[in-house]
Structure 1
Amino acid sequence: MPTTGYMATTSSYETSFWKIICVFQDGRGDGTVPASSGSNPRLAGGKNVRQQFRLSGFSHEPSYKDVTAQRVTHYAITKISTLADLS
């Protein structure tokens, strides 16, 4: 340790602890996403959720190939981009 010019520093920070446990399915859904996941934004998001679509006729993963799901995704991205503040 140097005898001159040495200064000890300290820092503090907040931390949190998360514990994640995998359990069996506890609600309706397609096996990958629970039905409550799709309805929660509308219930908990308040005025931050401006529009939500309920689509049916496909499973979770095959939705990437579903034309209606693709169109809704394109619409949502376009809508969000028009609301972006670019200033």
Structure 2
Amino acid sequence: MQEGPFTDIVAGRLFFLGWFVAVGSPLAGLLAGWSDSWLVGSMAPMVGSGPTVAGPQVLVLAGLAAVVLGKIMREGVRMREDLEGTV
């Protein structure tokens, strides 16, 4: 990365990582809740209370922050290209 962090590749990867974390975190929690519910239901059929979402939901905010940062970096890339064109 000789050009620094303001490249189109870095902005795209950060944007993708943000969506991956923002969507993957609740999905992983939902799958963990379903598997726990299935396990409890298989061991004691009348005890299960249904699927729940488990896991840290603060990762959704971190993922959305990475998405926003990726968009900001993409604007930085465009500004850098404009500056290179004028100088």
Instruction: Settle same-fold status: TM greater than 0.5.
Output: no
Q: TM-score, normalised by structure 2?
A: 0.26
- Highest CA radius of gyration, 1 or 2? 1
- The structure that is helix-richer by fraction is 2
Q: Which has the higher contact order (CA 8 A, sep 6+)?
A: 2
